[in-house]
Structure 1
């Protein structure tokens, strides 16, 4: 199953280690492609889904893979932690595949479109995992893929459009666009609807604590649906969300995007690494920040640490099941939100001025007097909160809300430098708060400031 193009294993071998392949100080943070960076300004766009209504375009940066055939459910269940005994047609789930050692590969959104048909969307790591094991295991399934627009061979349009309508006024906008309320639909379930005679699906969704919908349909109807939503939302002050603000709801919602796949070291996955292209997500998603280790396994995470424990269904056999049963006993880190001190942020990042928009996927060290206690996973400015928030994995004894810690903000040069060396990086005071960062914590913080 070796690919004729350079593979991930080729890249690791040539670099000398997974860390040497992936470590890139000062890496530019990812933002979705083919979307304006800002429409009205990132602050106004963030506030729109908190206080009004926002439109987000997800059409171009999602990698879609359709899985269809008699063994579609079996291959997904054999390689994912989820419960497939309760998975209705029209329902979507956060699909969580793990390695045999219980480390997450990544998560994706899995929608059941028929008895033997699913659509798996997101960054392509989960799709690669499922397809490889389906082909290796001889499962009776077929695949149709549609890469994101930046990587679609020959360019062209996506197969599907995806538009999210989010915010307190989302229901009013939808009623204006569709001439009335949509069918009653459970959260993360979808209903078939029509807009001006054009078929699409309405997925009941939510973002950063706000209710909303995701509309999905054939690309041929994309322009009409987009214009209809804009027109219906104009009297409500609809705001389009650009690439900068789009990357930030996950920080409030407690979702950690793109954890390091636990695939780089297991000898039994050598064939899988040879199957993966070097110029894919597994070979090109950079690592950087003040936290550095020569051992890639120090970056692996458990689904329990990411808050996916409730998704794990141990009533069926799947790859990694035994390891997860052992991991549940701990020790495990806890997922928390760090609220970074605004004065320190201005001093360290903004040179004494307003730092403007802050976005970082870097792994920054989190310390107390006891030393290293955690690692940030994603940090971003959240204007409605008035602070930079950081989704963080932290030792459980330091996870109590109100605990004070420091974030070491800087870029470790990487291999060749002592991981414990004092590089003189500045520190930002921070306070532990729950993840997701709920309204109570947000209100309390603003009052205290």
Structure 2
């Protein structure tokens, strides 16, 4: 029996939105990670105030790309600058469709002259692999799925551990016996721990200092135990699946935008190549901001804040569309909404003074201006305990993007096809104030510059 394709699923459902719209969908949390170790509040505080260990080993999808055409393939289908891409460097890889809509982003590391590894959710990897096969590029691929989708189970090929927080460098020096060589932001350096060699990737989360350590799975348990032992006197806290999902809200990274692949007739072949039971067919849409037109859910890389990554000095798919969009004042802006605490307690906590506890939502909730008109859509909402607020990464019209602007979030689950998108369904309303994104000041103003 043939494996159903994404196009098969769309055809059977009647439309892309009919396939994807799932009211009340549970928010994603990382696979095979304890939900909470010491409690989400303490775990969030750890990377703000102390030091935290995060295990990224199980939910990442890796695609290794090797061959004489590897750089050309990635440059032809990504907006990034490949003229300056050193071996050992990482970049946030951003592929777009011919209409300039993002497919999704991923972390791309150049491992050798003609070898790369692309990591993250697999939508970008699928896009690259399909176009390599269709275009006849001289490349080979190897993959490692996330633990939830790895055939026949088994361990990952790589471990990934993040050490983050104000005490991160002190902990790292304790593990290796001395500070590791200073590394530029988003660059890697080889490190050795008692004969075990792996990589240290310099980056951070929510504006905090840190590294991500990546190496062969055979060393995973040893390296993990070394971090735990050295971190004990520093109060190291392991971060569980709940807290792990939240730092992107502070740092301004919008995960899993809807890939702009569902409606273009020229991508029918691609949709037939993609499996239905993959990220493109199963990552749900939900919330109060409904549209039956899938293109209303597409996103420009400019809206996500990726404009500085776009390099027009080479030809790539979507280049002309992005040139036209470059000065488009009609594009939405990325902001942080700070929810009014009284309304949060009333709507989510059961009363005016009730703490709602942990809240996580990837729902697309409708954001309205003072006249009740649609002005934006939430992309990810989470409780951030060190800040003492519920924050939402949001795309909003330019006229309402000024910090301090008051808006209203409509909190509810639109039933989808068959109900008017603008119907008044009696959903509760939460007042919110527009603030910058990233919300964390250090991440917004100093982090990359001083990294």
Q: TM-score under structure 1 normalisation?
A: 0.97
Find the partner of 1:212 among 200, 210, 213: 210
Does residue 388 (structure 1) correspond to residue 390 (structure 2)? The answer is: yes
Q: How does 1:113-262 map to 2 (within 5 A)?
A: 113-262=111-260
Partner of 2:355: 354
Q: CA deviation at 1:197?
A: 1.0
Q: CA deviation at 1:328?
A: 1.1
Partner of 1:344: 343
Cα 1:396–1:412 shift into 2, 3 Å:
same
Q: How does 1:26-37 map to 2 (within 5 A)?
A: 26-37=24-35
Aligned residues: 440
**Two-structure CA RMSD over aligned residues (Å):** 1.1
Partner of 1:81: 79
Cα deviation code 1:142-179 (max 9, x no counterpart)? 00000000100000000000000000000000000000
Partner of 1:445: none
Does residue 419 (structure 1) correspond to residue 421 (structure 2)? The answer is: yes
- Tell me if the contact between 1:59 and 1:158 (Cα under 8 Å) persists in the aligned partners: yes
Cα deviation code 1:228-276 (max 9, x no counterpart)? 0000100000000000000000000000000000000000000000000
- Tell me if the contact between 2:369 and 2:400 (Cα under 8 Å) persists in the aligned partners: no
Q: Distance in 1 between matches of 2:299 and 2:442?
A: 28
Q: CA deviation at 1:441?
A: 11
Cα deviation code 1:20-68 (max 9, x no counterpart)? 0001000000000100000000000000000000000000000000000
Cα deviation code 1:194-242 (max 9, x no counterpart)? 0111011001011001010000000000000000000010000000000
Q: CA deviation at 1:440?
A: 8.0
Q: Distance in 1 between matches of 2:257 and 2:19?
A: 16
Q: CA deviation at 1:435?
A: 0.2
- Tell me if the contact between 1:433 and 1:441 (Cα under 8 Å) persists in the aligned partners: no
Q: CA deviation at 1:439?
A: 3.3
Q: How does 1:307-318 map to 2 (within 5 A)?
A: 307-318=305-316
Q: TM-score under structure 2 normalisation?
A: 0.97
Partner of 1:400: 402
Partner of 1:327: 325
Query: What SS does the corresponding residue of 1:206 show, helix, strand or coil?
Result: coil
Q: Distance in 2 between matches of 1:90 and 1:170?
A: 22
Partner of 1:446: none
Q: How does 1:267-306 map to 2 (within 5 A)?
A: 267-306=265-304
Q: Distance in 1 between matches of 2:16 and 2:168?
A: 44
Partner of 2:376: 374
Q: Distance in 2 between matches of 1:79 and 1:187?
A: 24
Cα deviation code 1:69-127 (max 9, x no counterpart)? 00000000000000000000000000000000000000000000000000000000000
Cα deviation code 1:262-302 (max 9, x no counterpart)? 00000000000000000000000000000000000000000
Point out where structure 1 has 5 or more consecutive residues left out of the alignment.
443-449
Does residue 436 (structure 1) correspond to residue 435 (structure 2)? The answer is: no
Q: Distance in 2 between matches of 1:161 and 1:341?
A: 40
- Tell me if the contact between 2:207 and 2:442 (Cα under 8 Å) persists in the aligned partners: no
Query: What SS does the corresponding residue of 2:132 show, helix, strand or coil?
Result: helix
Q: Distance in 2 between matches of 1:220 and 1:369?
A: 57
Q: CA deviation at 1:4?
A: 3.5
Q: Distance in 1 between matches of 2:254 and 2:232?
A: 33
- Tell me if the contact between 2:251 and 2:443 (Cα under 8 Å) persists in the aligned partners: no
Q: Distance in 1 between matches of 2:210 and 2:145?
A: 26
